[in-house]
Amino acid sequence: MRVDSAYTAIDNLLDPSINQLAVAVSGGGDSLALLHLVHSWSEVSTKKIYAVTVDHRLRPEAQQESQFVKAVAKNLDLPHETLVWKHNNIHGNIAEAARQARYRLISEWACANGIDTICLGHTQNDQAETMLMQLARKAGVDGLSGIPFKNERYGVKWIRPLLRIKRQELRDYLNTIGSPWIEDPTNYDSKFERIKFRNIVPLLAQAGLTVEALAGSAENLQNSKQIIDDVVLASAQRIVNVTKIGEYVLSAEFWELRHEIQVKLLARMLQFLSNEPKPRRMTSVKNCISQLSENGAATLSKFCVKKCPRGEILVYQNLSNVQSPTAANCLWNGRWLVRGSGLNRLRLEALGNKGFEAIDDTKKEYGRKRLVSSPSLWTKEQQLVATLFENQKTEFEFVDTKGKLRLIEFLKVN
């Protein structure tokens, strides 16, 4: 492996304005090689480097492995943090649950420490395996484009500078510098989907379907995906608006868009609004659009989606799916903040049916179903204090953290 190729990838993926970044390290060969590469790269770049490990508490060896990474980081004179995933019994897809927890924990830690970017050790082999997994799921362009070189999740940028480097090359590099690594036993457990596909890659290579070929196809499809994403972004800028009560509206031009663009725009918008780590499966979004066309209404990702008489599409949250009341100085429902004095005596919650009965009749034109899930301030004695309606005479200001500009920013990086 040419070390300078990894350095070039880091330079190309990293925002030059940042002065610190972190490397997610499990102790395995891929992430440990990445830590050494980023460390040696930083000696020239002068960036401050952190190492972070997640102990998922799924295997008895996990704590020992995090201590191993801590020792390696100490030898490199790098600060290291171990984050612990606290959970009860995990049901369903354990690997996926652990992956999502890992992203969330690292993001929260990074944001708390002013770290903007995390380096991940995905390799060309990972890309090839992902391509095969997505083929088995009959994936479209999004799925077949595989693992992105960079993206944003939970307010943090994630870069993957090793996606053009093979797993064996990294182990050869570690052997060259005399650095041991940990072999995770789950990497050989064929009950996991990824390992099943990993085991058949050598067989496919005999027919010419090599790791390089699979990863190369994924990278080519990323270019196609980018073209579609650009159209989705332009469409959102043109046809999406937000009402005074926080509903998202897609103009009737939505029905003139190509079906692929309709599906992706609606999927990404609902992912953004619901704070989900991934968009819903395209089949469920396609079914939602079919229901809208035929019946005028559908439900998806905890949201009501309604087709208006003139063809516009209205998206608002169902009251049964909103967050329970919270302190007025906290973010509510993953979206709303309130500014003002005396918030410590109030609660932020949905307007609800009681609040709907209390508001001015002129505000009820939106309809009960659309209004009851909007944010409002209440006293602890359940007296309505303020709503977000325009011209409300109050010292409180409702701040929408999911406005149209935020959606556009989200679409640019996801």
Do residues 277 and 344 share a domain?
A: no
Residue 222 lies in a domain: no
HSE-CB of 289 using CA atoms within 13 angstroms: 21
Do residues 115 and 207 share a domain?
A: yes
Residue 273 lies in a domain: yes
pLDDT, position 61: 87
Domain range for 334: 319-402
Do residues 19 and 153 share a domain?
A: yes
Do residues 285 and 323 share a domain?
A: no
Angle between helices 124-136 and 167-177 (to 10 degrees): 160
**b/e burial code for range 96-108 (CB count within 10 A of at least 16 → b):** ebbeebbbbbbbe
Do residues 116 and 70 share a domain?
A: yes
Do residues 17 and 94 share a domain?
A: yes
pLDDT, position 306: 96
Residue 324 lies in a domain: yes
**b/e burial code for range 311-320 (CB count within 10 A of at least 16 → b):** ebbbbbbebe
Model pTM above 0.75: yes
Do residues 111 and 61 share a domain?
A: yes
| C-alpha to C-alpha distances, 403 to 22, 39, 138, 233, 312, nearest whole angstrom | 30, 39, 34, 15, 18
Domain boundary among 211, 230, 254: 211
Q: Which of 42, 110, 109 is nearest to 76 (CA)?
A: 42
Do residues 96 and 163 share a domain?
A: yes
Residue 236 lies in a domain: no
Do residues 357 and 344 share a domain?
A: yes
Do residues 194 and 290 share a domain?
A: no
d(CA 277, CA 414): 10
HSE-CB of 108 using CA atoms within 13 angstroms: 10
Query: Residue 19 sits in a domain of what CATH number?
Result: 3.40.50.620
Do residues 312 and 193 share a domain?
A: no
pLDDT, position 205: 94
Domain boundary among 296, 317, 338: 317
φ and ψ at residue 37, rounded to 5 degrees: -65, -45
Residues of the chain with pLDDT under 50: 391
- What domain count does the chain have? 3
Residue 187 lies in a domain: yes
Residue 254 lies in a domain: yes
Joined tokens for residue 201: 């890659």
Domain boundary among 260, 291, 317: 317
Residue 229 lies in a domain: no
Do residues 28 and 149 share a domain?
A: yes
Tokens 């725009």, residue?
265
